[in-house]
Amino acid sequence: MTKLYYTLTLVCTSAILHAQIKKDAVLLGGQIYYNHVKLTTTGYEDVKSNEAYFAISAGKAVKDNTVYGINFSYSPYSIPYITSGNTIDFTAKGNNYTIGVFYRQYRTLAKDLYFFTEVGAAYITYKETDRDSTGITVGKATQKGGQLTLMPGITYKLFNKFYLEVLIPNIVTIQYADTKITQQAAPNSKQSQFVFNTSLNGNSLDLFGVGFRFIL
């Protein structure tokens, strides 16, 4: 019995060690998810934000299960502002861009199955154009700033060197940004904003994203 126990222990330990993200491995991949949020805005009802998110990243394991890297993301969004009369007053459409660095730590759960946490720091910018129901531009906005994020997830080795991820995007976000707003019916304005937010505020379907990694 004792011999069998030590044999099983050796096999399990060997499997876990074999499953590690080895030092000097190169990771290439990306993420995609969709976010749908209902906003509360004075004078409007049913304000819903629809946002897609696409990201690519590259990293290197500086030691087993520890990765540093860079990423770039693009996120288009659309927000229709509907009045109490159930008509669209105007629609805000824009594009978010980020470029930054990340640190990711893996923890082995089983053979080829990991839990990871990723901390990121990025430069953010977006441009938005507001158009009324006839297509005339009624306002514009631009924003620049910095962002810190925390993202947990689970990854599984689906094929040789290919890992599939399920993640909770930006479970914690800390952001500081300067925004410039230009409107036809109001004076131009500038504002600085500090935001602490969590994706757990959204609906359950908004909490998850999918990603992938090639490990070379």
Q: Half-sphere exposure (CA, 13 Å, Cβ side) for 177?
A: 24
From residue 15, alpha-carbon distances to 19, 44, 95, 157 in Å are: 6, 57, 44, 13
The per-residue pLDDT for range 84-111, each reduced to its tens digit, is 666 777 888 999 999 999 999 999 999 8
Q: Is the pLDDT of residue 169 over 60?
A: yes
Strand partners, 103: 68, 119
The per-residue pLDDT for range 13-58, each reduced to its tens digit, is 333 334 478 999 999 999 888 776 666 666 666 677 788 889 999 9
Domains of the chain: 2-215 (2.40.160.20)
Per-residue model confidence (pLDDT) at position 83: 72
At 61, the amino acid letter reads A
The span from the CA of 133 to the CA of 31, in Å, is: 33
DSSP string, 88-108: EEEEEEEEEEEEEEEEEEEEE
Place of tokens 């839990």: 115
Torsion from C-alpha of 151, 157, 163, 166, nearest 10 degrees: -40
Q: Which two tokens stand for residue 134?
A: 């006839």
Give the three-state DSSP class for 201: helix
pTM assigned to the model: 0.77
